[in-house]
A and B are shown apart, each in its own frame.
Chain A
Amino acid sequence: MDKLEIIKELNVLFQDVLKKGEVKLAIESTTDDVEGWDSLTNMLIINTIEKKYSIKFGFREIIKLKNVGDLCNAIIKKAA
């Protein structure tokens, strides 16, 4: 899996969780850049990612995720 692929998949995942028509994520995207992505929905997104990729993040790993790029790296690392 490469980052661009994951981002494409995350776009769909975010749309689903946030109930948005279209979400366009980038490597540097953070909660400030995506409407609806905040502390209320963050864990829902994490949980959905974990289910989708059959991975499990530790709490410390979650809090170190600062942007979509970090999320992609974490997914790649866990899924490997």
Chain B
Amino acid sequence: MSFISICFTILFICSIVLFYALPKSQKLILLVSSFIFIGYYHIAFLAIAVGIAMITYFAGRMIATADNDKKAGWLLLSSILLLVFIWLALRHPWIVPKSIYLFPLGISFYSFQALSYLIDIYWGDEKPERNVWDFLIYMLFFMKFLSGPIERSGDFLPQIKGEKTFDYDIVSFGLKLIVIGLFKKVVIADNMAPYIDNMYAGMHTASGVQLLMTCLLYPIQLYTDFSGYTDIAIGGAAMFGLKLAPNFDRPFISKSTSELWRRWHMSLSFWVRDYVYIPLTSVTRRMGLTGISFSLIITFTALGLWHGAGWNFVVYGLIQGVIITYEMLTTGLHKRMANAMGQSFYNSVFIIRTYLLYAVSLVFFRAESLSDATYLISHISLQVNSKWNEINIGMPDRNTLVCSITFVLLMVFEHYNQDNNLIKVISKKPTAVRWIVYYIIVLILFIYGAFNTDTFVYLQF
């Protein structure tokens, strides 16, 4: 069930109430809620998820208790191959026709979680979890099941050991974060989505300016959609007293693509850094910068492929790898440019440049195929005397105004939130002020929210 649905709201409210009303049964409640959440889509999804969780659980114990390092290594390798095979087979079933195939939701996320768990055990960073129920909660916790964040066992498992008592500040913080996430998703992302989707579906008849605006606007839609989901996940988990890893940290202020990937989909990018890039660079370190460049390109191509099997995803990943390699090789040049231009001007120019490069790369991410992506990019026009209804890609003026204003407000909020935790600041204000702010936000949500879709973009991965 989607986060934005009446069914989920009922499940969530019931879970939260029971969680604090029956403190001795907290783990059972989390597990049952997760089972209901996953099984609601399809019972097979639950079976697959539980199956993968149990394989991981037992593999972890076997690796930790292996007689020697070599045996542990073989066990790890077999487990990785098995998990990757299952993931690939279910992600890209070559035999079953696409029209009747139900792709198991969340599999890319919890499979990677499983891999990180096993690798951490092998490296000696973590001990295997002995309690199977705790482990199942780690793997299947419904607030992060669908699209992450990809949690590390060392961060999450200790949290579910103790009994959670109702902490007013944390629970209310969680609720506020959920509202912020909803705001991003339904007020910004979903008001833009139908028009951007329309442009991608009908790109061969769209004008050059429309294609340009589609390219420029899609990162905003994707960010508000995915970070909105993440905020709901993190806020919801917080209401259960559980802390999830952040997934976004103001990516649009990045001055380089390497910085962008430290701020965008952080749980995935840190995962590929720790489990793909660092091992690769360790092997290729004697090759110096060539080795690092090679590792970067392989890592990001793998990151692209994680999203899908098409060549467009390969190119998406490859673009990131090539740009980051270039940035690494030209660090000195950029320092000199910053000195020459002045740091502020340099920052402004490179924030825009990073955004534009990422927007172009996302065309490969979003398009149905490589040919569609190359068509779109090659037909972009900078003809600035176009009509307004070309520039706004058919979005009604109301949607354009709502999205523009709320996105700017969001950026301002995130900027000041970095140093000041605005949610806490508002919590300290007088009751009247707080409640006016709450009512305004909820009213905007009600009035301007586009509740016409209940899916998130990253649900497809």
A residues in contact (CB < 8 Å) with B:
19, 36, 38-44, 46-47, 50, 59-60, 62-64
Residues in A whose Cβ lies below 8 Å from that of B282: 43, 59, 62
Q: Are A44 and B331 in contact (CB under 8 A)?
A: no
Counting from the closest, the 5 A-B pairs by CB-CB distance are A43-B281, A47-B285, A43-B285, A59-B282, A40-B328
Q: Which of B125, B278, B286, B289 contacts A39 (CB 8 A)?
A: B278
B292 touches A40 (CB 8 A): yes
Among residues 273 to 297 in chain B, which have CB atoms less than 8 Å away from a CB atom of chain A? Answer: 273, 277-279, 281-286, 288-289, 291-292, 296
Contact A47 B288 (CB under 8 A): yes
Q: How far is the CB of B174 from chain A (nearest CB, A)?
A: 27
The residues of B that contact A44 with a CB separation of less than 8 Å are: 285, 288-289, 292
Q: For B288, list chain A residues within 8 Å (CB).
A: 44, 47
Please tell me if the beta carbons of B273 and A39 are within 8 angstroms of each other in the complex: yes
Whether A47 contacts B278 in the complex (CB less than 8 A), given A39-B273, A40-B258, A60-B124, comes out as: no
Complex: chain B residue closest to A45, CB-CB? B285
Number of residues in B with C-beta < 8 Å to the partner? 24
Q: Is B123 part of the contact surface with A, judged by Cβ < 8 Å?
A: yes
Query: Chain B, 312-329, contact with A by CB distance < 8 Å: what is the 0/1 string?
Result: 000000000000100010
Question: Among A38, A39, A63, which residue has its beta carbon within 8 angstroms of that of B123?
Answer: A63
Q: Are A36 and B279 in contact (CB under 8 A)?
A: no
Taking a contact as CB atoms closer than 8 A, the residue among B278, B284, B285, B289 that contacts A63 in the complex is B278
Q: How far is the CA of A62 from the CA of B335 in the complex (A)?
A: 29
Q: A53 CB to closest chain B CB, in angstroms?
A: 15
Q: What residues on B are CB-neighbors of A64 within 8 Å?
A: 124
Give Cα A35 to B267, complex, Å. Answer: 22
Query: In the complex, A43→B124 CA distance in Å?
Result: 21
Q: Beyond the given A59-B283, A63-B125, A63-B278, could you list 4 further A-B residue pairs with CB under 8 A, ordered by the A residue number?
A: A39-B277, A40-B292, A44-B285, A44-B292
Contact of B430 with A by CB under 8 A: no
Q: CB-CB < 8 A to A40: which residues of B?
A: 258, 292, 296, 324, 328
Question: What is the chain A residue whose CB lies nearest that of B295?
Answer: A43
CB-CB nearest in chain A for B324: A40
B332 within 8 A of A: yes
Contacts of A38 in B (CB 8 A): 258
CB distance from B37 to the nearest CB of A (A): 35
Bound together, the chains give a CA A35 to CA B445 distance in angstroms of: 41
Between-chain CB contacts (< 8 Å), 5 pairs: A39-B277, A41-B328, A46-B285, A47-B288, A60-B123
The answer for the CA separation of A38 and B292 in the assembled complex, in Å, is: 12
Cβ distance A72 to chain B, nearest Cβ, rounded Å: 19
Chain B residues whose C-beta falls within 8 Å of the C-beta of A19 in the assembled complex:
331-332, 335
A46 to B283, CA, bound (A): 12
Q: Compute how far the CA of A59 lies from the CA of B335 in the bound complex, rounded to whole angstroms.
A: 32
CA distance A25 to B148 in the complex (A): 36
Give Cα A41 to B279, complex, Å. 14
B286 to chain A, nearest CB (A): 6
Residues of A within 8 A of B296 (CB): 40
* B123, B285, B291: residue with the most chain A Cβ atoms closer than 10 Å: B285
Q: Bound complex: CA of A2 vs CA of B76, how far in Å?
A: 38
A39-B282 Cα distance, complex, nearest whole Å: 11
In angstroms, Cα B124 to Cα A36, docked, is 28
A62 to B284, CA, bound (A): 14
Check if B289 sits within 8 Å of A59, measured CB to CB. no
Q: How far is the CA of A19 from the CA of B289 in the complex (A)?
A: 14
Do A36 and B286 touch across chains, with their CB atoms under 8 A apart? no
Least CB separation from B293: chain A residue? A40
In whole angstroms, how far apart are the Cα atoms of A59 and B291 in the complex? Answer: 15
Q: What residues of A have a CB within 8 angstroms of the CB of B283 in the complex?
A: 59
Q: Which residues of A contact B124 (CB under 8 A)?
A: 60, 64
Residues of A within 8 Å of B279, CB to CB, are: 59
Once bound together, how far apart are the Cα atoms of A60 and B279, in whole Å? 9
Q: What is the CA–CA distance of A36 and B328 in the complex, to the nearest angstrom?
A: 10
Task: List, in ascending order, chain A residues with CB within 8 A of B335's CB.
Answer: 19
Minimum CB–CB distance from A74 to chain B (whole Å) comes to 14
Task: Please measure, in the bound complex, the distance between the C-alpha atom of A31 and the C-alpha atom of B261, giving whole angstroms.
Answer: 16
With most chain A CB atoms within 10 A of its CB, the pick from B277, B278, B284 is B278
In the bound complex, CA of A64 to CA of B296 (Å): 21
A40 to B328, CA, bound (A): 7
Give, as a whole number of angstroms, the nearest-CB distance from B164 to chain A.
30
Q: How close is A50's CB to chain B, nearest CB, in angstroms? A: 8
Q: Which of A19, A41, A43, A44 has the most CB of B within 10 A?
A: A43
